[in-house]
A and B are shown apart, each in its own frame.
Chain A
Amino acid sequence: MIEVRELRREFKVATSKGLRRNYKTVTAVDGVTFDVKAGEAVGYVGPNGAGKSTTIKMLTGILVPTSGHIQVSGVDPAKQRRDLAKRIGVVFGQRSQLWWDLPLKDSFDLLKSIYRVSTQDYQARLDECVELLGMQELLITPVRQLSLGQRMRGEITAALLHAPELLVLDEPTIGLDLESKERLREFLADINTRRGTTLLLTTHDLDDIERLCPRLMVIDHGRVLADGPLAELRAEVTPDRELVIDLREPGPAPDVPGVTAVRSEANGLRHHLTFRRAEITAAQLITQVVRQVEVHDLAVVEPEIDDVIRKLYQRQVDQEAHR
């Protein structure tokens, strides 16, 4: 579905010093290579300025690469922009493709004409989205009066009316409340599994990845740092798990071999222990802990995906230092 080889993109940035104007070249995407197969759901994450949006813009034909090869849905986005537009759907979280002053339904009708969707297909697709996203009452509302969450449901519907094989979403859940986010994720997971629509999404919200994307690609400084299933990356980069215990009475942390007490809170009422999953299972550890102290509550904490990404980045820096 997507084939990217050695993709590079440079920008000239003006640096003004007094009246002199100099240009320096900034490489936003620096040799990115990956494939996405039909039906996959891939999360594309990285810090601000990592090159995510630039990659997305090149994949969707908005920007032309400085060098490298891209094929999306069988076409070259730089050369066949309009062909590509008919095959893919794009949602930008921070810019709208809807007609601001018109009822939501009018935007859908216009897109039907723009993409030349037959009335029958259009009606079926629209009905499906309206039902799954709960938009019955929103159709007659002018877009400017919609809440962000409601508008985003409209944006996603708008991108799906021509039944694209690939749906590209740039920060689809940005600024949404928890309920709206959950609703969108559920819907996207559904069209991915049931309709087989390939998903590629960038996000800052790592719950999106956790819920939606079996595969994660991490990019920073224009390069892919890691590419694989989230669980694998997590196990590989952060083998440590954390056990948080709340004691009945304040006291010292329990002492178990191979386990480190990293910190304690509330005058010794709560302790954080880290353990290596390869060496001791959570169940074994808990059994040993409850033998030593009286436990009020406990929880096993998986490393935050943020930590995973931070460690991946650190690993990359270390590897470069070793070279």
Chain B
Amino acid sequence: MADVIYPKLIAAKLRSQMVYRASFAVDFVSQVMAQSYELIVILVLFSQINALGGFTKNEVLLMYAFAGAAFGVADLFAGQLDNLPTYIRTGTFDVLLMRPLGTLPQIMVSDIRLRRVGRITGALAVMAYALSHVAIDWTPAKIVLTILTPMAGAVIYSAVWVVACSICFWIVEGREFANAVTYGSNAFTSYPINVYSAPLRWVMAFIVPGAFVAYYPSLALLGKEDPLGLPGWVGWTSPLVAALAATVAGLVWRFAVRHYRGTGS
């Protein structure tokens, strides 16, 4: 069973991190802090204004929390792709190709950092706060949506990560570009997208489907009209968008690995 091996690989990685306990603790705290900087920005902003793009502070916090949790989970797995340039340069990628497993899952479990859980923990706390302070007409479907949203968001972010990092197979030091896309889209999705200018909005909504991470699902939960005029059911489509994004990312990755094996280094 191929599925049995990945938990083992993750457990192995966690054990090796425990070798360096002190750095683990420092990393964990710094991750929580990194996440809270963005939170502080939002709080400062709302000390000056009452609404942002028609959304209250707590509604914006909800979007921020969805985005943060999704990004945290994606970072946990897809974040390893930041090591891809090193893997390519040092030949570690060749070792992955020698094994009877897919290269992408191998990379995703290659360097799981438990410290990144710090980011997720912070986001979940904010999510709990926001959910209890906004007006939501709870139905069973909305409960399911609330649970699915961070997961779908994690898949969307991971897909963006995979696609952005695939460029490293062509430009070995493409990491800067990849980070701009991944971390940039996280910063973007933490706010209601109607505050951005139209071209950026379109890119982020439909090319990099970041708006489906937090914005549209939040609209559906809050029962709000999209100020940009998309119908209400759009907020329920995030899991579908996630599946589509994952498929595209898988194809891009396959194409990129084929390119690598075709040119090599």
Contact = CB atoms under 8 A, between A and B. Distances in A.
A57 B264 contact: yes
A175 to B, nearest CB: 16
A255 interface: no
B235 to A, nearest CB: 40
Interface stretch (A42-50, A94-102, A123-131, A216-224): A94-102
A34 interface: no
Contact of B98 (A54, A78, A97): A97
A61 interface: yes
Contacts of A12: 263
Contact of B4 (A11, A85, A113, A142): A113
Contacts of A247: none
Contacts of A78: 261
Contacts of A106: 12, 15
Interface string B1-45: 100110011001001110100000000000000000000000000
A100 B16 contact: yes
B8 A113 contact: yes
A20 interface: no
A92 interface: yes
Contacts of A277: none
A64 B261 CA distance: 5
A82 B98 contact: no
Contacts of A61: 97-98, 261
Contacts of B99: 85, 97, 114
A63 B4 CA distance: 28
B261 to A, nearest CB: 5
B176 interface: no
A62 B94 contact: yes
A100 B9 CA distance: 13
A54 B264 CA distance: 9
Interface string B85-109: 0000011101101111100000000
Interface string A92-126: 10111101111000100110011110000000000
Contacts of B15: 101-102, 106
B262 interface: yes
User: How big is the A interface, by class?
Assistant: 20 to 34
A256 B79 CA distance: 76
Nearest to A82: B100
Contacts of A114: 5, 99-101
A82 B100 CA distance: 4
A99 B12 contact: yes
Contacts of A142: 19
Nearest to B1: A116
A19 B102 CA distance: 39
A86 B100 contact: yes
A95 B95 contact: yes
A173 interface: no
A82 B12 contact: no
A95 B16 contact: no
A95 B98 CA distance: 12
B8 A110 contact: yes
A141 to B, nearest CB: 13
A90 B96 CA distance: 12
Contacts of A185: none
B58 to A, nearest CB: 43
A60 interface: yes
B93 to A, nearest CB: 9
Contacts of B92: 95
Contact of A81 (B9, B12, B97, B264): B97
Nearest to B5: A113
User: Which of B9, B17, B94, B101 gathers most chain A CB within 10 Å?
Assistant: B94
Nearest to A100: B16
B255 to A, nearest CB: 13
Contacts of A102: 12, 15-16
A320 B196 CA distance: 69
Given A102-B15, A114-B100, A95 B261 contact: no
A159 B261 CA distance: 22
B30 to A, nearest CB: 21
Contacts of B261: 61-64, 78
A95 B94 contact: yes
A107 B263 CA distance: 30
B101 A94 contact: no
Contacts of B16: 99-102
B12 A90 contact: no
A85 B101 CA distance: 9
A282 B75 CA distance: 72
13 contacts: A57-B264, A60-B98, A61-B98, A62-B98, A63-B261, A85-B98, A92-B91, A92-B95, A95-B90, A97-B98, A99-B12, A102-B12, A109-B8
Q: Which 5 A-B pairs have the closest CB atoms?
A: A101-B16, A85-B100, A82-B100, A95-B91, A63-B264
Given A60-B98, A63-B262, 9 more contacts: A11-B264, A61-B261, A95-B94, A95-B95, A99-B16, A101-B16, A110-B12, A114-B99, A116-B1
Interface of B: 1, 4-5, 8-9, 12, 15-17, 19, 90-92, 94-95, 97-101, 258, 261-264
